[in-house]
Chains A and B, each alone.
Chain A
Amino acid sequence: MILTLHDYWSEHGCLILQPYDMEMGAGTFHTATTLRALGPKPWNAAFVQPCRRPTDGRYGENPNRLQHYYQYQVILKPSPANLQELYLGSLAAIGIDMLKHDIRFVEDDWESPTLGAWGLGWEVWCDGMEVTQFTYFQQMGGFDMKPVAGELTYGLERLAMYIQDKDSVYDLAYNDAGVTYGDVFLENEQEMSKWNFEIADTDSLFDQFRKHVAECENSLSAKLPIPAYEQAIKASHIFNLLQARGVISVAERQAYMGRVRDLAKGACAAWMDKHGWAA
């Protein structure tokens, strides 16, 4: 399936990139999306990104929710006029019959408070299941998009469940020799859920958060947007872990998100600045 998508988007002019080697909550955090979406230069890329969302962990007991899963991300700047048709073409390519399956574009405005970014679009439903997030970015890192980029984020496990007609993600066939997704990832989900929710040392996490913040600022003062951005992503993930541990109150939550947003915005601003692009 990933190969089919690679072929399809490569044919449609996308660079095929590799995952970013850091923990992140969504493919959007990949520098190929966040930083490259900024500025006037055209940019078309597709890649797989593993995502970690500690609060979505269910100890491997929910057939449809994971704290670690894979997204397939396509970013096209400027957004082509036929982006919806291109997208539907990719669904057809991976074998979805759209006269048997009910495909729908349901309003879902996207906002990433930690990236200072928002866009309008839809969640794409296939028979009621959200299989893709479809967004026209309007702002990133607090900057207006000039031009607007279109972002497609496919939930790979969900699509696979469709194509393989499985009720549980853990029953997905990983190969033709009987290895399932569960064989590969179930233990990981169980252990990571327990660690995320119960075990992770919060003092250490708070400490790491502070250190990443400091390091981000350090990189910013050296005018190095990419290292600064990496530190912001790290801080963001630590913040997610702290939330899963339930040690951040509602009021503090805003403050922490604001910190991360400031870091990400700072990195974006440094990136714009370095390339000499005006806001």
Chain B
Amino acid sequence: MTDFLLELRSEEIPARMQARAREDLSKLFTAELAKAGIATSAIVTYATPRRLTLIARDLPLETAAVSEETKGPKTSAPPQALEGFLRKTGLTREQLVDRNGTLFAVTEKPGRATAAVLADAIPAIVRAFPWPKSMRWGDASASTESLRWVRPLQGIVALFGEEIVPFEIAGIASGAATLGHRFHHPYQITIGGAHDYVEKLRACHVIVDHDERATLIRDHAREAAAQAGLELIEDEGLVAENAGLTEWPIPLLGQFDPAFLDVPPEVIQLTARVNQKYFVCRGADGKLANAFVCTANIAAHDGGAKIVEGNRKVLAARLSDAKFFYDTDLKVPLAEQAEKLSKIVFHEKLGTVADKVDRVAKLARWLVEEGIILPGTGRGTGEAGGGGAPRSAASAENPLHPQPTADGPPPLAGEELADLADRAARLAKADLVTGMVGEFPELQGLMGGYYAAAQGEHPAVATAIRDHYKPVGQGDDVPTDPVTVAVSLADKLDTIASFFVADLLPTGSKDPFALRRAALGIIELLQKNNVRVSLGLPASISMARVAGVVSGAEWFKRFDDLVKARHSAGDPMNKDEIERTLEEIKARGRSAEELEKFGKRAEIAEQKLLDFFADRLKVQQREAGVRHDLIDAVFALGGEDDLVRLLARVHALQAFVTTEDGANLLAGYKRAANILKKEAPSGSPAKAGAQGLSGGELRESAGLDPRVREGTAEGEQETLSYTPEPAETALMTALDSAEPRATAAITREDFAAAMAALASLRAPIDAFFDSVIVNDSDPAKRSARLALLERVRAAVHNVADFSKIEG
């Protein structure tokens, strides 16, 4: 058993590609071994900026001999068949083996030297290597067919035991020689084999193992900070990146001019990290200190003094640039910056960012004026905690996080809240045109928050500007400050509505405008803050406004004027009036062809949008561990666009079905539904349920006597032409009592009580099935009893479509 060593030495491999390259090398090598039937006890891979290395342990010297058999014709087969087989195998008749009248060609494949297998395999691996980006170079690149590698390939070490595995790739012959550290040991080293590779290179200032380099960087960076009385702000991404940039990492601490600490700490951290790959530190007071840790790739003769000095200068220049942006930005009021948004296109089909800002501000104001967002939103609910809670949570994660607002300001009055939401929304995107966000787009929102606070905006406005993009993805803080909630909801809803109007919907894995994330953000905002809103209305308002922008259509613009006029007259439109106005505008707009297009599109888009939210909610609930069948059972009811209410129903159902009553009611329901299905095959219980039918609205397609249909409208027994059996009567009575109770409970959104009311049907249903024959020979009886079961089903569907529930 022998070890194999492969080193592919090249010019500097990008740090971010090294981990993946190791995996790919290991995978491709394993696959090549498997093809040749060779087993290895272990594969180790290493990466440095200049080398990609693989060591495979305990390979056999030769592959095993294989005997291959090919079945041929029968001995009785015509001679042409035999001739064909001989031609194919290249054998003579005498070499074939006769087994029970069938001829076989047996070829013995002798074992192959593993070294020879490797000599074939490695060039194949190199040629097929899946670098994310690769290039051609040198003389050979006169042809576009020349070898591609991540950067020019310089040398190959391939040793099986201590023997060179000979091969050549693009003019580079394999051997035993490599180079040491680029500056400490720029000379050839001859490697003996896998056993001395790591140590020989270490002696030449190369730490081959990336993990070892990462540990070194982590530990020494911490130490360097500690020696200066500081604490390193850990950053594993930076550790890995620096490990990928060095063969001999030496973390060094330096300091920058404390005057730069005027710039927000996030900016300093980002500048240091993104541009220079430095760590930053915090002092004993928990605040960002004027120190950085850079990772050098040499043990400098002067102990690194020049390196630190050089890096300090670079950082100073970068921070001076950042300070230039910051100071320049601070001088321009955000409101003035916001005017420039009219020059920035939001999307080519959707007007400018200024158009969007205007819609968001109106919608944010509306959400407050309608009482959807209340001054107390985010307070008083157990889950959400006080208005200051998320801020302190954020600051626990990142002590550098600023706090433009004092914790727990007193609640705002409704009108003030509306004004603040409007103001915050109008300023929220202004930082997009600031120099700082131009330089660091990831600081959007945050910088606006700083500028707003510094320019004397209301603290709640500054917070809202800062946090209105949140939550960004799962696990992000969900804002609870009412101004922020209003702006964040309005912004996300407008984004979704806009792209739906423009018919730019997410498909499959493609979601270029992050609409799914926006929808999830809305769901989380509604849930966390217990915001009660039927989404259909604000969505259609947004869409009407977007359609106005898109089509430039006066009728849509007029909508806003109407709303505004009523508002300033002190008689704001209520929801119904808004809906009617929208309808009217759409209807009147249809006179123009253009408008018809957008009117129709908005209508279709609205339904699509609600379905989209339902889908996102389903995904979110499934991920939260709610049974998918229960989610389906509630969603099948349809027509619900208040997501908080929808969730309350799902959660009540989840609690109910696990109780004994729930399980039994489900069993009784299924029995009823099965009979109905059998007796009235064209009627779809799911559909009936989806439309929320009560017992009196049976569909004709159910094949029931229309007489019965009418008769059961009020559950009136007198229309029965026969004397019902006691269990039948009992079920009717139970339904008469349960139905109104369940309906009333649903109206007050007490879904647990609604389910309790239904649970009272359980015993009568059981008794009914025990003693009553539904499929009676008397068609009147049969119809009446089927109708009764239909009533049961419909009553249950008031709560959820139980046919979707499993078990």
The chain A residues found within 8 Å of chain B, CB to CB, are 40, 58, 61-65, 78-81, 83-84, 97-107, 109, 119-122, 126-129, 136, 138, 144-148, 150, 161-162, 167, 246-247, 249-252
The answer to whether the Cβ of B416 comes within 8 Å of any Cβ in the partner chain is no
Interface centre among B12, B135, B311, by most A CB within 10 Å?
B135
The answer to whether the Cβ of B339 comes within 8 Å of any Cβ in the partner chain is no
Q: Which residues of chain A are near B302, meaning CB under 8 Å?
A: 100
The total of chain B residues at the interface (CB under 8 A) is 54
With both chains docked as a complex, state the minimum distance between the C-beta of A173 and any C-beta of chain B, in angstroms: 17
Known: A64-B320, A78-B139. A136 touches B144 (CB 8 A): no
In angstroms, Cα B314 to Cα A64, docked, is 8
- Residues from 286 to 336 in B contacting A, C-beta threshold 8 Å: 294, 296-298, 300-302, 306-307, 309-311, 313-317, 320-321, 324
Contact A64 B317 (CB under 8 A): yes
Given contacts A63-B320, A101-B307, A128-B278, 17 further A-B contacts (CB under 8 A): A78-B139, A99-B300, A100-B301, A100-B306, A102-B310, A105-B11, A120-B133, A127-B310, A128-B276, A128-B294, A138-B136, A145-B136, A145-B141, A147-B136, A147-B142, A167-B313, A246-B340
Q: Which residues of chain B are near A102, meaning CB under 8 Å?
A: 296-298, 300, 307, 310
Contact A81 B321 (CB under 8 A): no
In angstroms, Cα B139 to Cα A80, docked, is 8
Known: A100-B301, A136-B135. A62 touches B324 (CB 8 A): yes
With both chains docked as a complex, state the minimum distance between the C-beta of B83 and any C-beta of chain A, in angstroms: 50
Q: Which residues of chain B are near A146, meaning CB under 8 Å?
A: 141-144
Contact B317 A99 (CB under 8 A): no
With both chains docked as a complex, state the minimum distance between the C-beta of B416 and any C-beta of chain A, in angstroms: 35
Contact A107 B310 (CB under 8 A): no
In angstroms, Cα B150 to Cα A122, docked, is 12
With both chains docked as a complex, state the minimum distance between the C-beta of B240 and any C-beta of chain A, in angstroms: 14
Known: A103-B183, A146-B144. A250 touches B345 (CB 8 A): yes
With both chains docked as a complex, state the minimum distance between the C-beta of B575 and any C-beta of chain A, in angstroms: 36
Contact B306 A101 (CB under 8 A): yes
With both chains docked as a complex, state the minimum distance between the C-beta of B690 and any C-beta of chain A, in angstroms: 43
By beta carbon, the residue of chain A nearest B142 is A147
Against A, the Cβ 8 Å flags (1 = close, 0 = not) of B169-208 are 0000000000000111000000000000000000000000
Q: Which residues of chain A are near B340, meaning CB under 8 Å?
A: 246
Q: Which residues of chain A are near B182, meaning CB under 8 Å?
A: 103
**Count of A-B contacts judged by CB separation below 8 Å:** 138
Contact B15 A138 (CB under 8 A): no
- Residues from 436 to 486 in B contacting A, C-beta threshold 8 Å: none
In angstroms, Cα B342 to Cα A249, docked, is 9
Contact A107 B12 (CB under 8 A): yes
Between-chain CB contacts (< 8 Å), 30 pairs: A58-B324, A62-B320, A62-B321, A64-B314, A65-B317, A78-B139, A78-B142, A83-B152, A99-B300, A100-B300, A100-B301, A102-B298, A103-B183, A104-B245, A106-B12, A107-B16, A119-B135, A126-B310, A127-B306, A127-B307, A127-B314, A144-B144, A146-B143, A147-B140, A147-B141, A161-B313, A167-B313, A247-B343, A249-B345, A250-B345
Known: A102-B296, A102-B298. A128 touches B306 (CB 8 A): no
With both chains docked as a complex, state the minimum distance between the C-beta of B260 and any C-beta of chain A, in angstroms: 13
Q: Could you tell me the dominant secondary structure of chain A's interface residues?
A: loop
By beta carbon, the residue of chain A nearest B303 is A100
What 3 pairs across the A-B complex have the smallest Cβ distances?
A127-B310, A64-B317, A107-B14
Q: Which residues of chain A are near B142, meaning CB under 8 Å?
A: 40, 78, 146-147
Known: A62-B317, A81-B152, A127-B307. A99 touches B301 (CB 8 A): yes
In angstroms, Cα B140 to Cα A150, docked, is 14
Q: Which residues of chain B are near A80, meaning CB under 8 Å?
A: 138
Q: Which residues of chain B are near A103, meaning CB under 8 Å?
A: 182-183, 297
Contact B276 A78 (CB under 8 A): no
Q: Which residues of chain A are near B12, meaning CB under 8 Å?
A: 105-107, 122
Contact A81 B138 (CB under 8 A): yes
Known: A79-B138, A105-B12, A249-B345. A58 touches B152 (CB 8 A): no
By beta carbon, the residue of chain A nearest B14 is A107
In angstroms, Cα B137 to Cα A145, docked, is 9
Interface centre among B154, B343, B348, by most A CB within 10 Å?
B343
Which of the residues A83, A107, A128 comes within 8 Å of B311, measured between beta carbons?
Answer: A128
Q: Which residues of chain B are near A121, meaning CB under 8 Å?
A: 151
Q: Which residues of chain B are near A250, meaning CB under 8 Å?
A: 344-345
With both chains docked as a complex, state the minimum distance between the C-beta of A199 and any C-beta of chain B, in angstroms: 17
In angstroms, Cα B294 to Cα A150, docked, is 29
By beta carbon, the residue of chain B nearest A124 is B12
Against A, the Cβ 8 Å flags (1 = close, 0 = not) of B123-139 are 00000000001111111
In angstroms, Cα B48 to Cα A243, docked, is 41
Which of the residues B152, B297, B300, B320 comes within 8 Å of A136, measured between beta carbons?
Answer: B152
With both chains docked as a complex, state the minimum distance between the C-beta of A229 and any C-beta of chain B, in angstroms: 24
By beta carbon, the residue of chain A nearest B172 is A81
The answer to whether the Cβ of B49 comes within 8 Å of any Cβ in the partner chain is yes
With both chains docked as a complex, state the minimum distance between the C-beta of A126 and any C-beta of chain B, in angstroms: 7
In angstroms, Cα B83 to Cα A220, docked, is 68
With both chains docked as a complex, state the minimum distance between the C-beta of A255 and any C-beta of chain B, in angstroms: 10
In angstroms, Cα B337 to Cα A246, docked, is 12
In angstroms, Cα B12 to Cα A126, docked, is 15
With both chains docked as a complex, state the minimum distance between the C-beta of B275 and any C-beta of chain A, in angstroms: 9
Q: Which residues of chain A are near B321, meaning CB under 8 Å?
A: 58, 62, 64-65
Interface centre among A58, A100, A103, A161, by most B CB within 10 Å?
A100
In angstroms, Cα B134 to Cα A145, docked, is 14
With both chains docked as a complex, state the minimum distance between the C-beta of B347 and any C-beta of chain A, in angstroms: 8
Q: Which residues of chain A are near B49, meaning CB under 8 Å?
A: 105
Known: A64-B317, A65-B317, A148-B135. A249 touches B143 (CB 8 A): no
Which of the residues A63, A98, A119, A251 comes within 8 Å of B317, measured between beta carbons?
Answer: A63
Which of the residues A106, A119, A129 comes within 8 Å of B313, measured between beta carbons?
Answer: A129
Known: A81-B152, A99-B183. A148 touches B314 (CB 8 A): no
With both chains docked as a complex, state the minimum distance between the C-beta of A190 and any C-beta of chain B, in angstroms: 14
Known: A65-B317, A138-B136, A148-B137. A99 touches B311 (CB 8 A): no
Against A, the Cβ 8 Å flags (1 = close, 0 = not) of B113-131 are 0000000000000000000
Interface centre among B11, B133, B344, by most A CB within 10 Å?
B11
In angstroms, Cα B143 to Cα A122, docked, is 24
With both chains docked as a complex, state the minimum distance between the C-beta of A245 and any C-beta of chain B, in angstroms: 12
In angstroms, Cα B296 to Cα A162, docked, is 17
Contact A101 B144 (CB under 8 A): no
Contact A78 B141 (CB under 8 A): yes
By beta carbon, the residue of chain A nearest B15 is A107
Q: Which residues of chain A are near B343, meaning CB under 8 Å?
A: 247, 249
Known: A105-B11, A129-B313, A144-B144. A251 touches B136 (CB 8 A): no
